[in-house]
Amino acid sequence: MSFPVWVAPMRRVFLSAAALLLAVGVASAQSTPSQPESSTAGYSSSQDGLTQVAEMALPEAPAPRTAAPSGQYGNGGGYGSGRSKGLLHNLTFEASGGANAPAGDKAYITWGGQFTVGGGVNFSKHLAALIEYQFLDDKLPGAIIAEAGAQGGHAHIWSLTIDPVVDLFPKATNDVYVTGGGGFYRKVTSFTDVEPTEYCEFYYCGIGYAPQVVGHFSSNQGGFNIGGGFQHRLGGMYGDSNTRLFAEVRYVDVLTPAVNGVTPNGLGVTTVAADTKLIPISLGIRW
């Protein structure tokens, strides 16, 4: 008799549990579409975090730099580039010395010594122009000295000339060049005798004998020279050094006037033909 009474409460519990399960299922079905959005948002936020970390870890790429303007120390200057183009790069200088020999059948000078200094401009690799100062010291032949009645004599010639230099192989370590030019020449011919001369050394003075000029004559005129040489270029850091050692020979013709029947300072009558020709032989350096 009690069985039906017990079944009724159980039926109520069963129906309540079924209703609860149905409600949970409906709620789950409604919340399912929102899950991709939340996962996508979580992934996006993770990406943003990694991007911020990467930006903090890596430095920014440097901005492209514009080319510096050319100037004295840049590409167009004379110091900061591989090839100088300034004014100083175009200047050239030289110094040389050596011996000179007489030229011609009737030479009125003998062997002597000389030196030359000069400076100018390189117009190109092949052509330069130099202003040269040269001093030549030569002895006089014995016949002229005897004619003047002196014991010795010498001729001094100094010149100031413009001389182009043409380099035939400017890129070679060893090359050949030709040169020549003309300008002003002054020649002084002097006759000497050995005469007593006072000299002093520290606290002592005495009388000695030395050649003294007892007569001379001089002339101012034009002249020219022509010649050539061999030169060796020193290497330099990039093989482009302008320093060169050279050996050269020139022919010099000084257009001196003839001297006829001159008695220099009371000496004997002296006769010298026109023109003075000689051959300087030089060793030197250009830079």
**DSSP 8-state code for residue 192:** E
The whole-chain average pLDDT of the chain stands at 78
Taking only the tens place, the pLDDT of each residue in 66-78 is: 554 444 433 433 4
Taking only the tens place, the pLDDT of each residue in 194-233 is: 988 888 888 888 888 888 999 989 999 999 999 999 999 8
Tokens of 29: 């079905």
Euclidean distance between CA atoms 251 and 246, whole angstroms: 17
pLDDT score at 22 = 54
- Are 53 and 91 part of one and the same domain? no
Which of 36-45, 81-90, 137-146 is most confident?
A: 137-146
Is 193's pLDDT higher than 80? yes
Any idea how long the chain is?
287
**DSSP 8-state code for residue 119:** E
User: What's 197's domain CATH number?
Assistant: 2.40.160.20
Higher pLDDT, 123 or 10: 123
Pair 253, 277: CB distance under 8 Å: yes
Euclidean distance between CA atoms 250 and 136, whole angstroms: 13
Euclidean distance between CA atoms 3 and 17, whole angstroms: 22
Residue 50 three-state SS: helix
Buried b (16+ CB within 10 A) or exposed e, 94-124: bebebebebeeeebbbbebebbbbbebebee
pLDDT score at 72 = 40
Taking only the tens place, the pLDDT of each residue in 250-278 is: 999 999 998 887 777 778 888 888 899 99
- Are 129 and 211 part of one and the same domain? yes
pLDDT score at 204 = 84
Higher pLDDT, 142 or 25: 142
Is 167's pLDDT higher than 90? yes
Is 24's pLDDT higher than 60? no
Higher pLDDT, 11 or 279: 279
Q: How much of the chain, in percent, has pLDDT values that exceed 70? A: 67
- Are 160 and 39 part of one and the same domain? no
Closest CA to 153 of 116, 121, 119, 110: 110
Euclidean distance between CA atoms 71 and 74, whole angstroms: 5
Closest CA to 213 of 245, 237, 189, 179: 189
Euclidean distance between CA atoms 275 and 70, whole angstroms: 54
Closest CA to 280 of 101, 87, 69: 101
Number of domain units in the chain = 2
**Is residue 108 included in any domain, yes or no?**
yes
Q: What's the burial of 144, exposed, middle or buried (CB within 10 Å: 0-12/13-18/19+)? A: buried
- Are 165 and 229 part of one and the same domain? yes
**Is residue 71 included in any domain, yes or no?**
no
**Is residue 232 included in any domain, yes or no?**
yes
- Are 38 and 105 part of one and the same domain? no
pLDDT score at 21 = 52
- Are 170 and 31 part of one and the same domain? no
- Are 178 and 227 part of one and the same domain? yes
Tally the C-alpha atoms within 13 A of residue 274's C-alpha that lie toward its C-beta: 6
Q: How much of the chain, in percent, has pLDDT values that exceed 90? A: 45
- Are 100 and 172 part of one and the same domain? yes
- Are 270 and 153 part of one and the same domain? yes
- Are 91 and 47 part of one and the same domain? no
Beta bridge partners of 184: 160, 222
- Type of residue found at 225: N
**Is residue 222 included in any domain, yes or no?**
yes
Is 41's pLDDT higher than 70? no
Q: Is the pTM of this model over 0.75?
A: no
pLDDT score at 62 = 58
Average pLDDT over residues 174-181: 96
Q: Print the domain residue range for 30.
A: 3-57
Alpha-carbon 37 to chain mean position = 75
Average pLDDT over residues 99-116: 89
- Are 92 and 234 part of one and the same domain? yes
Euclidean distance between CA atoms 148 and 189, whole angstroms: 12
Is 48's pLDDT higher than 60? no
Closest CA to 272 of 138, 113, 114, 140: 140
- Are 40 and 157 part of one and the same domain? no
Average pLDDT over residues 47-53: 49
**Is residue 99 included in any domain, yes or no?**
yes
pLDDT score at 78 = 40
